[in-house]
Structure 1
């Protein structure tokens, strides 16, 4: 290749045109490239999703550095090889390259910056083994080395890692502040492309895990702009699409979310990142579940599991909607036993409360809500605070204390509205309506239901829409009966047993019995026959009852 061709490749690399740079460098023998060109070729190949070529270039660069006795560069290339092979699921190769880095760094001075890069490898190994204090110490050493040597890539990576570790140990405000610090370095373009991409994705994922929707949206927009500036970029675009899909689901654009998640899966496949495909599949399952596409949702959760991603608690919520409450309860109980970290617990608890309330496990749900309240207060993230308030309102309502539920539900409605999460706002409005209806304010309750119905119809949330239509159907109800109590009373009037009623309404028999007790008290009757007579007298049913 002519010298001018190599110069063109270098110029293309400098302006972020990875395709032209990769094409120029990959058409010549690696032995004709300088060490820096080999490094840059590896970077361009990695960003284009050309994993094999990326590894080959790094191996050539490593061999050259080792042969020349250039230990610092050999360690750095071993680090990159350990990282890129781990990202693509080649754990044995990654461990081997990490070992080579450890071996070589022993020959360097104690204050060499390369010891900071090796500390990062030790940090990842410690996290994998669950040794969080050791991982934190390694991240601190890496950050100190980066700061001492003004290595912006190392400092940004270590700062981001320190942020995530702080979050996992319950210090969420500190963790988010560290993520912001790392992100500022990236946005200011102080870091090289590969490490910028890692920081973007790691920081956004951290925000998503703790329900910091505003930060997640801000950094996702920045990541999207960063990706758009780089022609041909494949690496990190799958993760960007996942985060866009997650935000679209929260903001009510479910069709757009499914498109983004399908795009993410395709890009992960092109990148040969099978583990990440599971995340995209799980997120698609969440959208399908909310739309009432049960078979498609189950298939998506199954695909997530096939790629190593836990399909719960989304699958348990799907089972609840299908009436498989025993299976849902068992899955959630298993998750609660397995999950210990504060961030992981915070992600699980809102869904766990919903499942347990559907299974009539009120005492356990109450305990989980108390835990969720405490975590939300410690984290201070708006999304988690909204979820905690909604869960608290739901448990108060299930306990039969509508007045106690109202403050929590109103707080949740306001918080979700502030975040632009229309589906969550509508869900809370349904519970508000149930609380208001139980307190006799049926006009306001109906207004809340009608507002929720409009949102569900716009979103295509078929299961939620059907539930609201059932609640709206009777209009103004007699004797202070709630809409759910009228549903139970109609089935009593039809001669159905408690077991049949529970099956029809996807409730537990214990819940049906509680509804019957409330109905008898409100109607001042003591038998099913008298309750059925009231139903016919007030035209709550039209057909003659049939005994079963």
Structure 2
């Protein structure tokens, strides 16, 4: 037994496990050290990445402690078994183990009470999408931890409560708790706890749209993970470093981190890190313009996420739907979006697990001209203004308002998105928003003087920004808009009655006999916007009705 303990103290996990197995084989069933040795075997195999063997060892330890009437030790072993199951996304087994731990706890609150409550809270909120229940348990654990004289226990409870406050869409409150937990973990020199705090801070900052701060926390996470000697701490760190560097346009670094991520996740038994790696590599491929490569990775990711339950799938399915829409795979995208909407409906409104799905739905709907779906996304997105979930929430709301003909609201949303993207260093969103502001300049029924030249300038700035970051897919889209604008500008002088390009398009469709609804569908506009354009056309041309406008179009060669 001492040999197993000595090996584990030097992080020689497999050697420790081998010593423990040999000792158990010769140890009597009633030996007073058996429960401790089973626990040691569980800890060694967990560190070695053999989660199922670890869970079995911890459960055997639990049964031994129950038989010997040690409730606190039994609860501790059940909690450890639950953690082992959690690492391989075995949610049902993990929950059963945590509930066994709760049932085994002594009546007086103790450290194990906090440990079990935080673990169960995380499982419910993060893996199963039951955010309110998870938050309540985490807050209970934090209150209890603050009454116990164990700084690391309080740090872990604060980290869990902070993480779940973020998931409940209290970003500022959650970040404050996470930063306090990180400071405590550093003070206690616990690299595992510090690495976990940095992981959640990196994600919280990326949702704020602060790519630079998010990347800084990922670098700190890597430092702590390297000190932890635990392969599990590397499950996401390289992938998150790839996200941070690609969003800043540092593609050679991103490629290097992705290569290291692939090696790291291949050594883990859990399917989740590999699925997340495929998701990130796929989305990065799409950003660089490699659409088919992106789909291959994204499909692999979603296939894996489906095995982990709806609470996990809902976070990521929308990425596939958006890329399908962006690549013009309409039928596939619509099917994915229908499934995603059904998943969102089963989650608590306004919580973070719904933020990314709503953003992906809105972005995909806008690409497909699916105005009804885009309109449905608008109200739920309000809960997340000021945030970024692969897309600026304010930018998406502005784009939706623009297509609904709500030009004042569109301008307010887009200017807010532009301000946030610039102050937080999110160049991808800045480029996207500049392109939408250009569209706004051209979409008004009565464009402002110089609108076309301002649109050209905005698109040029968007293109420079996106090309500078290597965002090939978004840059190509802006380039197409810019190319279509130039000949339109050249033709504008020849349009009769001072009609704008959009008014000319509407007039041609009026002359073709289409109704306002049909024109709206054809041009991906709202009926209200079409009506506004028609009013402007009738005013500029001096026509009193649609028939007169049709005659005007015929006379001027527009029909």
TM-score class, shorter: 0.7 to 0.9
Distance change in 2, residues 1:532/1:464 (3 Å): farther
Contact residue 298 and residue 320 of structure 2 kept, 8 A:
yes
Equivalence for 1:249: 246
Equivalence for 1:284: 281
Distance change in 2, residues 1:288/1:100 (3 Å): same
Equivalence for 1:368: 377
**Structure 1 residue 254: Cα displacement:** 4.5
**Structure 1 residue 135: Cα displacement:** 3.5
SS at match of 1:149: coil
Equivalence for 1:307: 304
Question: Can you list the C-alpha shifts for 1:117-169, whole angstroms capped at 9, x where unaligned?
Answer: 33345535654676655444432342244333323443233222322333444
Distance change in 2, residues 1:430/1:120 (3 Å): closer
Deviates more, 1:62-71 or 1:164-173: 62-71
TM-score between both structures, scaled by the size of structure 2: 0.74
Equivalence for 1:464: 474
Distance change in 2, residues 1:396/1:81 (3 Å): closer
Equivalence for 1:216: 214
Q: Report 1:339-358 matches (<5 A).
A: 339=344, 340-342=348-350, 343-358=352-367
Equivalence for 1:397: 402
**Structure 1 residue 304: Cα displacement:** 1.4
Distance change in 2, residues 1:251/1:66 (3 Å): same
Equivalence for 1:76: 76
Deviates more, 1:296-305 or 1:453-462: 453-462
Q: Gaps spanning 5+ residues in structure 1: where?
A: 536-548
Q: 2: distance between equivalents of 1:385 and 1:291?
A: 15
Equivalence for 2:454: 444
Q: 1: distance between equivalents of 2:416 and 2:93?
A: 51
Contact residue 265 and residue 280 of structure 1 kept, 8 A:
yes
TM-score between both structures, scaled by the size of structure 1: 0.75
SS at match of 2:524: helix
Q: 2: distance between equivalents of 1:357 and 1:136?
A: 34
Contact residue 386 and residue 416 of structure 1 kept, 8 A:
no
Q: 1: distance between equivalents of 2:121 and 2:246?
A: 33
Equivalence for 2:86: 86
Contact residue 30 and residue 57 of structure 1 kept, 8 A:
no
Contact residue 135 and residue 164 of structure 2 kept, 8 A:
yes
Q: 1:235 aligns with which of 211, 232, 235?
A: 232
Question: Can you list the C-alpha shifts for 1:327-378, whole angstroms capped at 9, x where unaligned?
Answer: 53454354344324312332233333333334445466356334423432xx
Q: 1: distance between equivalents of 2:180 and 2:334?
A: 41
Q: 2: distance between equivalents of 1:403 and 1:138?
A: 43
**Structure 1 residue 424: Cα displacement:** 1.7
Equivalence for 2:141: 142
Distance change in 2, residues 1:485/1:45 (3 Å): farther
Distance change in 2, residues 1:271/1:324 (3 Å): closer
Distance change in 2, residues 1:443/1:272 (3 Å): same
SS at match of 1:235: helix
Q: 2: distance between equivalents of 1:328 and 1:531?
A: 43
Distance change in 2, residues 1:145/1:29 (3 Å): same
Contact residue 322 and residue 360 of structure 2 kept, 8 A:
yes
Q: 1: distance between equivalents of 2:299 and 2:387?
A: 31
Equivalence for 1:182: 181
Question: Can you list the C-alpha shifts for 1:239-270, whole angstroms capped at 9, x where unaligned?
Answer: 11222222223323345445534543442331
**Structure 1 residue 237: Cα displacement:** 1.0
Question: Can you list the C-alpha shifts for 1:45-73, whole angstroms capped at 9, x where unaligned?
Answer: 53453446655765676577667655433
**Structure 1 residue 170: Cα displacement:** 4.4
Q: 1: distance between equivalents of 2:226 and 2:163?
A: 26
Distance change in 2, residues 1:527/1:299 (3 Å): farther
Q: Report 1:103-114 matches (<5 A).
A: 103-105=103-105, 108-114=106-112
Distance change in 2, residues 1:299/1:212 (3 Å): same
Distance change in 2, residues 1:477/1:301 (3 Å): same
Deviates more, 1:247-256 or 1:34-43: 34-43
Distance change in 2, residues 1:199/1:67 (3 Å): farther
**Structure 1 residue 83: Cα displacement:** 0.9
Q: 1: distance between equivalents of 2:242 and 2:225?
A: 16
**Structure 1 residue 226: Cα displacement:** 0.9
Question: Can you list the C-alpha shifts for 1:438-494, whole angstroms capped at 9, x where unaligned?
Answer: 533333332322232233334444443333333333254333789x958997xx89x
Q: 1: distance between equivalents of 2:361 and 2:462?
A: 23
Deviates more, 1:34-43 or 1:400-409: 34-43
SS at match of 2:231: coil
Q: How many residues align?
A: 509
Contact residue 71 and residue 104 of structure 1 kept, 8 A:
yes
Q: Gaps spanning 5+ residues in structure 2: where?
A: 25-32, 306-312, 542-548
Q: 2: distance between equivalents of 1:336 and 1:60?
A: 43
Q: 1: distance between equivalents of 2:417 and 2:96?
A: 50
**Structure 1 residue 223: Cα displacement:** 0.5
Distance change in 2, residues 1:153/1:59 (3 Å): farther
Distance change in 2, residues 1:488/1:288 (3 Å): farther
Question: Can you list the C-alpha shifts for 1:300-319, whole angstroms capped at 9, x where unaligned?
Answer: 22111210245532222223
SS at match of 1:312: helix
Question: Can you list the C-alpha shifts for 1:62-89, whole angstroms capped at 9, x where unaligned?
Answer: 5776676554334323211211122213
Q: 1: distance between equivalents of 2:408 and 2:120?
A: 53
1:478 and 2:491 aligned = yes
